Structure formats: C-alpha cells, structure tokens
Amino acid sequence: MLRDAVIAALLVGCGGTDPVALLDDAEIAQVASMSPRPPVPDDPTNRVADDPAAARLGQFLFFDPRLSANGDVSCASCHDPGLGFADGKALAEGVGTTGRHAPTVLDSAWNRWFFWDGRADSAWAQALGPVENPIEHGSSRLEVARHLHDDGDLRSAYEAIFGDLPPLDDTSRFPEGAARPDPANPDAAHNVAWSAMAEADRTAIDVVFANFGKAIAAYERRLVLGDSRFDAFVAAAVAGEDGAGTLTDEEVAGLRTFIGPAGCTDCHFGPSLTNGEFHNIGLGPRDWLTPDQGRWEGVDLVLTDPFNGQGAFSDAPDAPEVDERLRWLGNSSNNLGAFKTPSLRTAALSPPYFHGGHFDTLAEVVDYYVALEEQPDYGHTEGTLTRLALTDEAKAELVAFLEALPGDLPSDELLEAPPDPF
Ligand code: HEC
Ligand code: HEC
C-alpha cells in the first residue's frame, strides 16, 4: 500500500496525466474485451503444434530457399522478419507475381481462417499452399519429401519427430523431379508423374507433406507479439489504476473514435481486433489487380481441401473446434468479394494494406473508410459501413491509436534462419 502510494506520488511528480480518466465506464467495459489476449489456442489437428523440436525444424524450413523451383524463394522471401513478416509490396513476388498482398504471419496463431479468402482452416494446411503454387515456391510435395530425405540434417530432424521417411531411394516408386496432383492440368508432367505412383505411395508422400506443414506451423505459433502499451492501458483501466505512461491522450482519443462513432468494432473487436470473419468493405479495382471473388471461392476450397481439419491428415478430425468451423459452413452471396478481417494488432508493422495492397499508409486506410466511395468488382459494400464524419484531427487520432497497437517482436532467435534444423 505504502509502496503504491509512493509510486503514485512519483508519477504525479513526473507530471504524468492519467489517460484512463478520459474513458467513461461504458467505454472501459468495451475496451476490457480487447485485452489481454488469451493464450494461443490449441490446435488439436496438429499433434506437434507445441513440440519445440518441430518448431525448430519448421523455423529452418521457413527460411530454406532450396524448397523452390529457382532455389531463391523461401517463406521468408514474402514473410520477412525485418518487414513485419510481410514484404512491403502490394503484390507478393516469388517465382512469379501473386494476385494478392502478403499478410503478416505474426499473431496468426489466433487466426480462425488462413488466407484472405479463408481457404485453409489451419496453419499447417496453409503452409502447403505456397510450396506448390507455381508463382510462389513452384515446387511439389514429392520434391519437398525428397529434400527432407536427401539432406542428412533435415532427414534426422524429421525422422526424430515423425518417424521414418518413405524409401525415396527407390526411384521406380518415387520418381525424381516434380510430382503433385493438378486436376486442372491433367497433362502436365508433374500431374502425370503423380498419377503414375501407387496410391499407397502417394498417401505416404501426402503424410510427409502434411508433417512438413505441421513443423512450419509449430514455428509460426511462436511468432507472437509481446503486450503493447495498449494492453498496459487496458489493464490499468480495468483495475481502476492510473494509466500514466501507457497511451497518450491523442491515442486514447483515437481509441474512443474507434469504439464509438467510427464503428470499427462492428468487425474489429476482441483481443485480436477482428471477428475472424469475412466482409465486403467495397474496395474497388486497381490496375495491378484482377477481379477477385474472395471468400466466395474460399468456402468451396476449404471444404474440398484434403488437408482440412476433417481430412485424413488431421490429427483430430472429430475435434469440436474443427466441427464448429466446417460442419455448417456453406456459401452465400454475401461472400462475393468478401475478404478476411485482419488483426489490427499487427497492421502498423506491415504496410501496405488490404488484400490487394490497395493503400500504402494507415492514414489512407482511414480516409478510405471515411469517404467510402469505391465500387467493388463483385458483390456490394456491406450495409453496416457508412460514410464517416470525422475531422482531420479525429482521423489523425485514429491513426495514432492504430500505431500504438503492436507490441514487441518475438525474441531475436526466432527472427532468423537457425544454423541447423535441430
Ligand atoms: C511469393 C510470396 C509468398 C511466399 C513464398 C509465401 N507466402 Fe505466405 N502468403 C503470401 C500471400 C500473397 C498470401 C495471401 C494469399 C491469399 O490470401 O490468397 C500469403 C498468406 C500466408 C499466410 C496466411 C496469413 C493469414 O492471416 O491468413 C500465412 C500464415 C503464410 N502465408 C505463411 C507462409 C509460409 C509458411 C510460407 C512458406 C511455406 C509462405 N507463406 C510462402 C505470399 C507468400
Ligand atoms: C464491416 C466490417 C468492417 C468494419 C466496420 C471495419 N473494417 Fe477494417 N477491415 C475489414 C475487412 C474485411 C478488412 C480486409 C478487407 C480487404 O482486404 O478486402 C479490413 C481491413 C482493415 C485494415 C487493413 C489491415 C491490413 O493488415 O491490411 C485496417 C487498418 C482497418 N481495416 C481498420 C479499420 C478501421 C480504422 C475501421 C473503422 C473506421 C474499420 N477498419 C472498420 C472489416 C471491417
């Protein structure tokens, strides 16, 4: 008690004003739901999600450019730790140029869905996509398995966690070169090679491919931002304590606009400042983008993905959280042109913004929501969004609030390629 009083006196002595005093009780109740973040949720579909050895192997693979058609592209090419685990570009560039903007991997452990269209329902299923995408890594699942098999270090790291690799030395069963299913291009050499393999051997490679994704996901789960000044502010507000030194008055004003007249919390609520769902916010065409149906396509893709949580490679196909996500999932015209609401805790770290890198700065994003004057290629702007009457000062405060959200990056050893996979 005495110590607290002394500290409080010191703070007053330093001239700190209490930003918590700027909120009324209703506002405090509202911000209490935005912090602290709960622990990273379990992923029962990935039995190695919390295995440190798998995370180390996954970290090594995340930075390994040998897993690409030209030997230059790794996950880190587009998810660069120095650029907020994104790439700073409107459209990501791997072996070719992608059609969407690379989101950050930071804090993705809380994601309900992965990709802008939510076509993956777990981090490990997500990680399989870029590897076989001809414009990202341009590799194939058989080449991934061969890479794990032929590199002595990778092989021992993999086998210590997942057990023996299939006998890839037997090239009559496991051909050299690319092999992956590609039903849209049945005559492509990689599809012909894949189809020629025995079904049991194809399954064995799919298991290795899924395990590869699970190791990467175990690493990504650790890429979590530390608590930020915003969390310190909310903790003080909820405890009825002095919040001096947490948020500035300008940032608190932005917070009040965010939860109040700007209506941002219609979609950006909860500890990650997202509802985890999909909305059409009305973004119009850009000359670097092709028209994009977003979630409309994502629903069918996730339901038919053999690597989804209910599939044969999931470690918990009957888990309640899997069931809850997939069982009732259906498509509706509301999904046309809808994209995933991103976390705003990471936004300030990874410009540009939106699924197509539409805007370079948070100030432009705020101007977009205020004016709301674009017409989307597909679907229509959701009715909850309306033009906002915000002064220039209020807009600047909103930006200041968004900039105060990120906490510190994860520890340094998670931000670089480790020397070995174990
Ligand atoms: C060529 C650049 C590129 C490479 C290489 C790449 N990504 Fe991505 N990543 C993207 C883009 C673009 C998206 C969004 C694509 C979409 O939504 O359709 C994305 C999405 C993601 C997401 C989803 C995040 C979210 O919130 O939905 C994660 C996680 C991710 N990538 C991890 C990885 C991993 C792991 C690898 C390596 C196996 C990888 N990426 C390789 C560009 C890349
Ligand atoms: C109707 C739901 C909805 C409301 C309301 C809403 N947003 Fe969003 N927000 C989204 C969706 C969906 C996206 C992604 C859209 C896309 O890329 O097509 C997004 C993206 C963003 C991004 C970009 C993040 C990134 O990493 O690219 C920022 C910043 C943002 N919103 C801030 C705000 C602010 C500030 C407000 C209030 C003025 C607001 N949003 C209101 C749904 C909403």
Which of 281, 360, 366 has most ligand 2 atoms within 8 Å of its beta carbon, as the pocket-test mutant?
281
Ligand 1 and 100: CB distance under 6 A: yes
Nearest ligand to the CA of 395 is 2
User: Does 170 share its domain with 279?
Assistant: no
Is position 413 within any domain? no
User: Does 106 share its domain with 210?
Assistant: yes
The backbone torsions φ and ψ at residue 97, rounded to the nearest 5 degrees and listed phi first, read -100, 130
Say what the pTM is: 0.95
pLDDT the model gives residue 224: 98
Contact (Cβ atoms closer than 8 angstroms) between residue 41 and residue 211: no
Ligand 1 and 111: CB distance under 6 A: yes
Tell me, what CATH number does 147's domain have?
Answer: 1.10.760.10
User: Does 32 share its domain with 104?
Assistant: no
The backbone torsions φ and ψ at residue 114, rounded to the nearest 5 degrees and listed phi first, read -120, 150
Measured CA angle at 219 (ends 213, 223), to 5 deg: 130
Q: Which residue has the higher pLDDT, 328 or 399?
A: 399
Domain boundary among 195, 223, 251: 223
Nearest ligand to the CA of 58 is 1
Atom of ligand 2 nearest to the CA of 353: 27
Residue 375 has pLDDT above 60, yes or no: yes
Ligand 2 and 364: CB distance under 6 A: no
Atom of ligand 2 nearest to the CA of 294: 18
Is position 65 within any domain? yes
Mean pLDDT of 22-41: 96
pLDDT in tens, 323-339: 999 998 999 999 999 99
Nearest to 100 by CA among 89, 112, 85, 113: 89
Mean pLDDT of 199-220: 98
CA of 297 to the centre of ligand 2 (A): 20
Ligand 2 and 365: CB distance under 6 A: yes
Burial class (CB in 10 A: 0-12, 13-18, 19+), 152: exposed
User: Does 123 share its domain with 213?
Assistant: yes
Is position 254 within any domain? yes
CA of 73 to the centre of ligand 1 (A): 12
DSSP string, 22-44: GS-HHHHHHHHTT-SPPPPPP-T
Question: How many domains is the chain partitioned into structurally?
Answer: 2
CA of 324 to the centre of ligand 1 (A): 25
Rounded distance between C-alpha atoms, residue 104 and residue 87, angstroms: 8
Domain boundary among 172, 201, 223: 223
Range of the domain at 290: 14-40+227-294+336-403
Ligand 1 and 280: CB distance under 6 A: no
Is position 415 within any domain? no
Nearest Cα residue to atom 39 of ligand 2: 264
DSSP lists the bridge partners of residue 421 as none
pLDDT the model gives residue 17: 87
Ligand 2 and 341: CB distance under 6 A: yes
CA of 242 to the centre of ligand 2 (A): 31
| Average pLDDT in the chain | 95
User: Does 350 share its domain with 276?
Assistant: yes
User: Does 18 share its domain with 70?
Assistant: no
pLDDT in tens, 274-332: 999 999 999 999 999 999 999 999 999 999 999 999 999 999 999 999 999 999 899 99
Is position 305 within any domain? no
Residue 13 has pLDDT above 80, yes or no: no
CA of 77 to the centre of ligand 1 (A): 10
Contact (Cβ atoms closer than 8 angstroms) between residue 179 and residue 142: yes
Is position 306 within any domain? no
Q: pLDDT over 70 for what percent of the chain?
A: 96
User: Does 110 share its domain with 139?
Assistant: yes
Nearest Cα residue to atom 11 of ligand 2: 341
Residue 5 confidence class, pLDDT cut points 50, 70, 90: very low
User: Does 208 share its domain with 231?
Assistant: no
- DSSP secondary-structure letter at 217? H
pLDDT the model gives residue 4: 52
Nearest Cα residue to atom 40 of ligand 1: 75
pLDDT the model gives residue 30: 96
CA of 342 to the centre of ligand 2 (A): 7
Atom of ligand 2 nearest to the CA of 103: 26
CA of 208 to the centre of ligand 2 (A): 37
User: Does 243 share its domain with 378?
Assistant: yes
Ligand 2 and 375: CB distance under 6 A: no
CA of 80 to the centre of ligand 1 (A): 11
pLDDT in tens, 93-127: 998 899 999 999 999 999 999 999 999 999 999 99
Domain boundary among 176, 204, 223: 223
Atom of ligand 2 nearest to the CA of 398: 35
Is position 180 within any domain? yes
CA of 268 to the centre of ligand 2 (A): 7
pLDDT the model gives residue 95: 87
pLDDT the model gives residue 1: 40
Residue 70 has pLDDT above 60, yes or no: yes
Residue 364 has pLDDT above 80, yes or no: yes
Mean pLDDT of 240-257: 96
Q: Which stretches within 178-265 are classed as H helix?
A: 189-196, 199-220, 229-239, 249-259
User: Does 131 share its domain with 181?
Assistant: yes
Mean pLDDT of 247-255: 97
User: Does 65 share its domain with 206?
Assistant: yes
CA of 354 to the centre of ligand 2 (A): 8
Ligand 2 and 357: CB distance under 6 A: no
SS (H, E, C) 374-409: CCCCCCCCCCCCCCCCCCHHHHHHHHHHHHCCCCCC
Nearest ligand to the CA of 389 is 2
Is position 192 within any domain? yes
User: Does 131 share its domain with 208?
Assistant: yes
CA of 128 to the centre of ligand 1 (A): 10
pLDDT in tens, 175-207: 999 999 999 999 999 999 999 999 999 999 999
pLDDT the model gives residue 308: 98
